[in-house]
């Protein structure tokens, strides 16, 4: 498990190392213009959307380890080619390789955590994964920022070269891991191998479908707004300086890092859906604070404090979500479909991250009051969806602490709905 978590940190570090500077690199350093830079970022996201639907079935058939190694090598090749790219076609192709590789790593790593954990340890394992991912992203962005220099293109080549080395180290580390193979249910295994049959099993699982809907709203209302809608709203409506946006993001990361293990014991002893519902209420307060920052008419200092507090409250909610949502996906999945369930949820997240900026950016920049009202309602919708999801879950799926307390070992078997679909 320690090696798997080290892999999580390396993958996040690689992303944080270069992605924040990808736009500047393409538009200014390679002098390809803002349009090309926007297209490169779009290709980076679209490559993930194309790759993820096929990832889960391959993980379930071949195991997550070869998928992780292949994804790391693919991302490494994308990083090297991006550092050497000089034309439009080369940067677009590099972005496709890098986007597909980094996206595929996530369900592979999540499946590896599932295979190496049980109901009593999975919550803490995913909390550690989230902690290391944020730490890796933060450190990667910080160190990368000290290397890059727009006047020196070779500094970006060095940046992408170091990123490629990180992915190669990840691939080498993965090859040293020996994973236990979970037991399989023949009926569900046959359906999973059928491709469409596997999709039919997933779509027939009401709890998983509801969790995917809830996940889309979660990612749309939070992560999908950080660097687009909320940033545009802060600068346009609240008069926030660009440097303050960096402070707000730092506050978000700091709260996650400091609060993750402080809230873990509190979260793991309570029903998962109740904690997700509480996150919806916390984020509603965060959006109200953002509304005060831009629409409240207070001093600039108060507006700045309120805006930074918005990001901090988002961080608190994220720290509460880490031990709940990802483990729930794992606990809902049949043994032979863990990869497909993780990939499906990763696809939902990627869709939310693609649609969120497209919707939130224009609203945050121009329609200030409707923007805040919309996302207060989305946050309250998280609470409603969480309560509804709780009615579809078994006690062990919703409250795994009961397993540890009663020393009952949960068998990771498909529910009756999933077996019927199979």
Residues 6+ apart with CB under 8 A from 68: 7, 104, 105, 108, 109, 112, 170, 171, 174
Helix (H) or strand (E) holding 149: none
How many helices (H) and strands (E) would you count in the chain?
20, 0
**Among the listed ranges 76-90, 126-140, 184-198, 213-227, which one has the minimum average pLDDT value?**
184-198
Give the model's pLDDT for residue 212: 94
Give the model's pLDDT for residue 379: 95
Phi-psi map region of 36: left, alpha, beta (phi>0 left; psi -120 to 50 alpha)? alpha
Give the model's pLDDT for residue 373: 94
Average pLDDT of 283-311?
90
Give the model's pLDDT for residue 181: 63
Cα–Cα distances (Å) from 80 to 74, 98, 159, in that order, read 10, 9, 10
Average pLDDT of 165-171?
89
Has residue 56 got a pLDDT over 50? yes
Q: What span, in angstroms and rounded, lies between the C-alpha atoms of 316 and 378?
A: 17
Give the model's pLDDT for residue 53: 86
- When pLDDT is cut at 50, 70 and 90, the band that residue 224 belongs to is confident
Give the model's pLDDT for residue 386: 95
Give the model's pLDDT for residue 142: 74
Q: Residues 57, 220, 112, CA angle at the centre, nearest 5°?
A: 30
**Which residue in 46, 28, 101 sits closest to 70, CA to CA?**
101
Average pLDDT of 286-296?
91
Q: What span, in angstroms and rounded, lies between the C-alpha atoms of 4 and 209?
A: 28
pTM to 2 decimal places: 0.80
Q: What span, in angstroms and rounded, lies between the C-alpha atoms of 342 and 126?
A: 13
Give the model's pLDDT for residue 409: 42
Average pLDDT of 140-159?
81
Give the model's pLDDT for residue 187: 46
- When pLDDT is cut at 50, 70 and 90, the band that residue 252 belongs to is confident
Mean pLDDT over the full length of the chain: 83
Q: What span, in angstroms and rounded, lies between the C-alpha atoms of 125 and 114?
A: 9
- When pLDDT is cut at 50, 70 and 90, the band that residue 239 belongs to is confident
Say which residue, 257 or 81, is predicted with more confidence. Answer: 81
Q: What span, in angstroms and rounded, lies between the C-alpha atoms of 192 and 200?
A: 9
Give the model's pLDDT for residue 256: 87
Give the model's pLDDT for residue 207: 92
């Amino acid at each position: 498990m320690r090696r798997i978590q080290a892999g999580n940190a390396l993958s996040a570090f690689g992303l944080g190392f270069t992605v924040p500077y990808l736009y500047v690199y393409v538009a200014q350093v390679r002098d390809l213009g803002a349009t090309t830079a926007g297209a490169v970022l779009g290709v980076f996201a679209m490559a993930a959307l194309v790759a993820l639907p096929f990832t889960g079935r391959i993980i379930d058939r071949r195991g997550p380890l070869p998928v992780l190694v292949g994804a790391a090598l693919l991302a490494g090749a994308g990083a090297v080619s991006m550092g050497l790219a000089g034309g439009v076609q080369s940067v677009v192709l590099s972005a496709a390789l890098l986007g597909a590789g980094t996206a595929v790593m996530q369900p592979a790593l999540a499946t590896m955590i599932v295979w190496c954990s049980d109901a009593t340890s999975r919550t803490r394992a995913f909390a550690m994964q989230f902690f290391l991912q944020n730490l890796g992203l933060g450190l990667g962005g910080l160190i990368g920022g000290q290397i890059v220099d727009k006047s020196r293109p070779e500094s970006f080549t060095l940046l992408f070269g170091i990123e490629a080395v990180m992915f190669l180290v990840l691939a080498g580390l993965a090859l040293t891991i020996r994973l236990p193979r979970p037991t399989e249910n023949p009926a569900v295994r046959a359906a999973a191998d059928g491709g469409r049959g596997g999709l039919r099993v997933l779509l027939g699982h009401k709890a998983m479908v509801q969790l995917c809907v809830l996940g889309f709203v979660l990612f749309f209302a939070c992560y999908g707004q950080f660097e687009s809608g909320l940033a545009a709203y802060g600068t346009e409506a609240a008069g926030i300086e660009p440097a303050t946006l960096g402070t707000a993001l730092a506050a978000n990361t700091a709260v996650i890092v400091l609060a993750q293990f402080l809230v873990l014991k509190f979260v793991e002893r309570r029903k998962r859906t109740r904690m997700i519902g509480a996150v919806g209420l916390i984020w509603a307060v965060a959006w109200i604070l953002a509304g005060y920052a831009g629409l409240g008419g207070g001093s600039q200092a108060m507006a700045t404090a309120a805006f930074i507090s918005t990001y901090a409250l988002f961080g608190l909610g994220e720290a509460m979500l880490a031990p709940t949502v990802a483990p729930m996906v794992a606990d809902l999945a049949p043994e032979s479909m863990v990869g497909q369930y993780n990939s499906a949820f990763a696809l939902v997240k990627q869709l939310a991250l693609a649609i969120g900026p497209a919707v939130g950016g224009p609203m945050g920049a121009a329609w200030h009051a409707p923007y805040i009202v919309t996302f207060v309602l989305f946050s309250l919708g998280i609470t409603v969806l969480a309560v509804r999801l709780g009615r579809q879950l078994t006690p062990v799926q919703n409250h795994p602490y009961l397993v540890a307390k009663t020393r009952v070992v949960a068998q990771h078997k498909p529910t009756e709905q999933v077996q019927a679909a199979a």
